[in-house]
Amino acid sequence: MSLSLQMLGTGNAFAKNYFNNNGLLLADDYSLLIDCGITAPLAMHTIGKSFRHVNATLITHIHADHVGGLEELALTLKHVYGKTMRLHLPETLIEPLWNNTLKGGLYQKDAVASLTDIFEVTPMKPGITYKLAPSLSLEIIRTPHIPGKDSYSLLINNEIFYSADMTFQPDLLISLVRERGIRMILHDCQLGGAGVVHTTLEELMSLPEDVRRIIKLMHYSDEQPQFVGLTGEMEFIEQHVTYKL
Ligand SMILES: O=c1ccn([C@@H]2O[C@@H]3COP(=O)(O)O[C@H]3[C@H]2O)c(=O)[nH]1
Ligand SMILES: [Zn+2]
Ligand SMILES: [Zn+2]
């Protein structure tokens, strides 16, 4: 069994030197795109890959750096390649993703009137393990981000935690490591300022050593080069590099 991750981007919503924090998870020959932000189509082109070779896409929450590329993805697949994408997403995101984000661009009278008319939708609920492929299972965990906006982190193969954008949740992180035996945490990381809607580097640095040493940092700002060497045991993930998980 081989599991690897190649981030299309590792930047935060406003980064200009990094693409949006979207990941390509590869489990043997099955590939899952985790989030599809505004920059995802260009990032895919940059790394020489095409959406038509991706098996499915999963959405963590509705912000443009996580869903802004879905219109281009759907239209390209449908009109250029005659395909549809399977979309795994938390069931509470289905209605707002269509009505508040995609309907304007994708609605077509008598043809496309809902998310299921343009994607193969698989709704997900927290606490259930979904087998996406022989060597890939996923669970979603609702984690706080923006008041009133649902956001879901991921548990990959019951051993890797992939944070959506989230505020600092030390108890969750500690229990994932000490009670569920999680061996790797990929976490969003705001490098400066107060962590109003994200987790800050300072907050992550306050975690116990056994948790810190399995954390990899992503979703960071253009100031990232100034922080290399200042993150303790936690290393930055770099976009486009393929990591064996
Ligand atoms: O109360 C708020 C709401 C939003 N924001 C910014 O908008 C961005 C949206 O994408 P993101 O979730 O990757 O990051 C968010 C933040 O950078 C914020 O700073 N405070
Ligand atoms: Zn984001
Ligand atoms: Zn967000």
DSSP string, 155-176: EETTTEEE--S----HHHHHHH
User: Which pLDDT tens digit goes with each residue over 65-103?
Assistant: 999 999 999 999 999 999 999 999 999 999 999 999 999
pLDDT at 1: 86
Question: What separation, in Å, do the N-terminal and C-terminal C-alpha atoms of the chain show?
Answer: 11
Residue bearing the CA closest to ligand 1, atom 5: 197
Find the ligand nearest to 21 CA: 2
Protein residues within 5 Å, CB atom, of ion ligand 2: 13, 65, 165
For the chain, the domain total comes to 1
Q: Quick one: which atom of ligand 1 is closest to the CA of 63? A: 10
Q: Are 228 and 7 in contact (CB under 8 A)?
A: no
Burial bucket for residue 213 (CB in 10 Å: 0-12, 13-18, 19+): middle
* C-alpha distances out from residue 245 to 23, 156, 159, Å: 13, 10, 10
Domain at 103, CATH number: 3.60.15.10
Tokens of 235: 């290393």
| Per-residue pLDDT tens digits for 203-227 | 999 999 999 999 999 999 999 999 9
- Tell me the whole-structure pTM to 2 decimals: 0.98
C-alpha of residue 219 to centroid of ligand 2, in Å: 7
ipTM surpassing 0.85 = yes
Range of the domain at 49: 3-244
